[in-house]
Amino acid sequence: MGAVPVLTATASASASASAKGNAGTAATTTAVVDPAARRQTIRGFGGMTHAAWIGDLTAAQRDTAFGTGEGRLGLSVLRLPVPENRADWSRDVATAKRAAELGATVFASPWNPPAHMVETFVHGSQTNARRLRHDMYGAYARHLNDFNAFLRNHGVNLYGISVQNEPDYAHDWTWWTPGELVRFLRENAGSLGTRVIAPESFNYTKTISDPILNDPAALANVDIIGTHLYGTPFRNFPYPLFKQKGAGKELWMTEVYYPDSTSSADLWPQALDVAEHLHHAMVDAEFQAYVWWYIRRSYGLLREDGRISKRGACMAHFARFVRPGYVRIEATATPAPNVYVSAFQGGSSIVVVATNKTTSPVSQQFTLKHSTASRISSWLTDASRNVAFQGTTGMSNGSFTVTLPARSVTTFVTA
């Protein structure tokens, strides 16, 4: 077993100084959480199901993925494919219905239009590249609407639908240029009967989404700017143009696995990279949704046997406790090198997620400004534990000090 987190009420910064004497712990600056400094509203944390490619989740796996109790992931977003063939539309309905019953937001992304709407062309060295025929834009919008209606008739109300999955990385599916996306959004997306998501670039290439933000008519018909984060460095996470022109729109990260798809999701401490990635996605990029690729996979949130993986546990530190409608609030993001802190508020509850990627325990003081909370509970994931409840302790004047074990992620919730 690793070091157990030690929670103590803290009346002043002097208590933090005294904690420096704890054997084997490093000291940090105080992490200040300010509920008055409100940032983005969180839609949720989720994952992808794709029955045609990897088989459907079982009933038990659906409950593990979307349930919120102990031993559950707490996912609140589900992404579905939009199959090009109507005969395949029912494949993911069972999982979508159960996720919706458990309160999840459901959205869908297409890889290809129906074959009769597509033409081939030369794209670099690819001589059989595919694109949507320009005279089929209206028919394609009706196809997306029909899928939306099909799900609604089967008890699932889509929150939104994407125009195209990864239009800029489409060697095996359908290419779209930025100009084609803008044209479809201007001329056809207004007819879609649910929220519209675009452009879902595979690595947050801003030259794919900038033209949408810079075209008022196209932007008017988009509700969610969506992207993927494959290979995207943290320095590219902020999006100043979205902040400038995206008022009233949502910003979602709609697909990623991290750091790779070749390692076991239980490899530790590599799985701790997921917690850091989530931190930067929430704090630097200010995404409102964060969606993993396959929910169940060797590198996924659930292992193939349906048990929560180490990567899944790191996701659960956000997903289970930061619920839809919570608002990210300002917090000292890096009170020490390789220590990452984010904070969220839902009603009177404040959630703080702290990731310690160092190889030593860290003594960390937290101060919650303007807080009247008197107690705080915590959950821990480290090499030997997965989102393990660590108990509840008192707070003094909105402050507490904790020893964060080496290579761990801890979620604190006020009571």
Which residues are known catalytic residues? Answer: 166, 255
Q: Rounded to whole angstroms, how far apart are CA atoms 209 and 241?
A: 10
Report the C-alpha dihedral over residues 297, 302, 304, 305, rounded to 10 degrees: 180
Interacting residues of 374 by C-beta distance below 8 A, sequence separation 6+: 394, 395, 415
| Location of structure tokens 């325990």 | 361
Secondary structure class of 55 (helix, strand, coil):
coil
Query: Do residues 271 and 263 make contact, with C-beta atoms less than 8 angstroms apart?
Result: no
Phi, psi of 204 (to 5 degrees): 60, 45
Query: Do residues 156 and 106 make contact, with C-beta atoms less than 8 angstroms apart?
Result: yes
Distances (CA, A) of 374 to 52, 117, 260, 349, 413: 50, 61, 41, 11, 11
- Tokens read off for 51: 């029955």
Query: Do residues 231 and 258 make contact, with C-beta atoms less than 8 angstroms apart?
Result: no
